Amino acid sequence: MPEMLTYLLRRSAFLVVSLVVAMMVIFVLLRLLPGDPANALLSVDATPEQIVAARAQVGSDRPLFEQFALWAGQMVRFDLGESYISTLPVGPEIATRLQITLPLTLLAFVLALLLSLVIGITAAVKADTWYGTVLSGFAQLGIAVPVFWVGILLVWVFALGLGVLPSGGFPRDDWEDPADALRSLALPVLTVAIVMSASLSRYIRAATLDVLGSDYLRTARAGGASLGEALLRHGVRNGAVPVIAVLGIELSTTLLGAVVVESVFTLPGLGSMLLTGIEQHDFANIQGVLVVSTLFVLLVGFLADIVQRLIDPRLRARVAGAR
């Protein structure tokens, strides 16, 4: 498929350009903040010489353009620099944090997907029954509820009330004892999954309703297929296209939503690194986390676009037609 190859090339170029633009935006926005990152290193008793030395250390005494060039130069070498404050290299620190944030995001995503498929399809197929209505109601409610509130509620029930799961934190030996690590992730994963499945199941319900009302489904059923067979053979593929676009966005949202969830559950992941980075004005850490998560979001969008095209020949035809 040469059309697909051209598309891949074009799409990859777009990804690279987006990343560069995002880097510039991140860099400039941070510099627009009032104050000086060197201040984080100083106390209220600092002498003028200490202030000068601190600015030199973090490089905030150089022209903005030079600072960006330095940073971009590092990035090309896949070096995210060193934290202003802890002086630890940012890259390895992010890698450590991802050991928590990635499993959290992916587990929550899979769980949310399963939940919302069941809820969304049931709510659509059984729209005229009482539990179909209840499930739609759950989805509506779920959208209105903030993530941290669900987290607090779950902590209240499972940690403070029943005492069966920890209220937060992550084992000191990380994944050495996977059961222990999973226990720590259980509530955060559940929190994210519940909130995510609420919005996701609405999309799935809408997509299913679309399919149910379609001519091709009626035709298939007229040809003798049961509802289940017709849905499986013709419905899934058609319904999947809009859902996958949403899934891509939701997966990205989950990663970014980790900031809130990790703070509620005291998980030392990417989100808490970003939060402390912002509190401490540690530009190196903030930039590192933002670039990595931007890359993640761009890659997910990239994959979602490609999967959509693989599923739906009409989209591929559109690319070919444009030639």
Partner 1 sequence: MKTPLALAATIVGAALVLAGCSSSTPSAEDAADATIAIGSLYEPQNLSNTQGGGQGVTEAFNGNVYEGLYKLTDDGKVEPLLAASEEVSEDGLTYTITLRDDVTFHSGKQLTSADVKASVEAVTAEDSKSARKSAFSVISGIETPDDTTVVFTLSQRSISFLYNLAYIWIINADAEDLTTTEDGTGPYTLDEWKQGSTLTLTRWDDYWGEPAANGEVVFTYFTEATAQNNALLTGEIDVITSIQSPDALEQFASNDDYTISEGTSTTKELLAFNDRVAPFDNALVRKAVYSAIDTEKLLTSIWGDYGTLIGSMVPPTDPWYEDLTDVNPYDVDLAKQQLAEAGYPDGFEFTLDTPSYDPHPVVAEFLQSQLAEVGITVNINTISADEWYTKVFQERDFEATLQEHVNDRDVVWYGNPDFYWGYDDAQVQQWVAEAEQAATTDEQTALLKQVNEKIAADAASVWLYLYPQIVVASSELSGYPVNGLNSQFFAYDIVKS
Q: Which two tokens stand for residue 79?
A: 């070096």
Tokens 């902590």, located at residue: 155
Stretch that binds partner 1, among 6-14, 24-32, 161-169, 224-232 (CB under 8 A): 161-169
Tokens 């759950």, located at residue: 138
> What span, in angstroms and rounded, lies between the C-alpha atoms of 124 and 239?
12
Single out the residue of 60, 105, 254, 263 in contact with partner 1 (rule: CB under 8 A).
Answer: 263
Q: Is there binding between residue 122 and partner 1 (CB under 8 A)?
A: yes
Total binding residues toward partner 1, as defined by CB under 8 A:
69
Count CB-CB contacts under 10 A for residue 238. Answer: 17
CB of 81 to partner 1, least distance (A): 15
Stretch that binds partner 1, among 236-244, 248-256, 276-284, 304-312 (CB under 8 A): 276-284
Single out the residue of 27, 170, 203, 283 in contact with partner 1 (rule: CB under 8 A).
Answer: 170
DSSP codes of every residue in 192-238:
HHHHHHHHHHHHHHHHHHHHHT-HHHHHHHHTT--HHHHIIIIIHHH
Q: What are phi and psi of 123, to 5 degrees?
A: -60, -30
Nearer to partner 1, 164 or 317 (CB): 164
CB of 267 to partner 1, least distance (A): 8
Q: Is there binding between residue 292 and partner 1 (CB under 8 A)?
A: no
E strand or H helix at 157: none
> What span, in angstroms and rounded, lies between the C-alpha atoms of 7 and 3?
6
Q: Is there binding between residue 256 and partner 1 (CB under 8 A)?
A: no
Q: Is there binding between residue 190 and partner 1 (CB under 8 A)?
A: yes
Q: Which two tokens stand for residue 305?
A: 């676009």
Q: What are phi and psi of 126, to 5 degrees?
A: -105, 35
Stretch that binds partner 1, among 65-73, 205-213, 236-244, 260-268 (CB under 8 A): 260-268
Half-sphere exposure of 103 (CA within 13 A, CB side): 20
Stretch that binds partner 1, among 3-11, 70-78, 184-192, 234-242 (CB under 8 A): 184-192
Q: Is there binding between residue 34 and partner 1 (CB under 8 A)?
A: yes
Nearer to partner 1, 185 or 247 (CB): 185
Single out the residue of 43, 130, 222, 223 in contact with partner 1 (rule: CB under 8 A).
Answer: 43
DSSP codes of every residue in 259-316:
HHHHHHTT--SHHHHHHHHHHHT-HHHHHHHHHHHHHHHHHHHHHHHHHHHHH-HHHH
Q: Is there binding between residue 61 and partner 1 (CB under 8 A)?
A: no
Binding site for partner 1 (CB under 8 A): 33-37, 39-47, 49-51, 53-54, 57, 85-88, 93, 96-97, 111, 114-115, 118-119, 122, 126, 135, 152, 155, 158-160, 163-170, 172, 177, 179-180, 182-183, 186-187, 190, 263-266, 268-269, 272-273, 275-276, 280-281
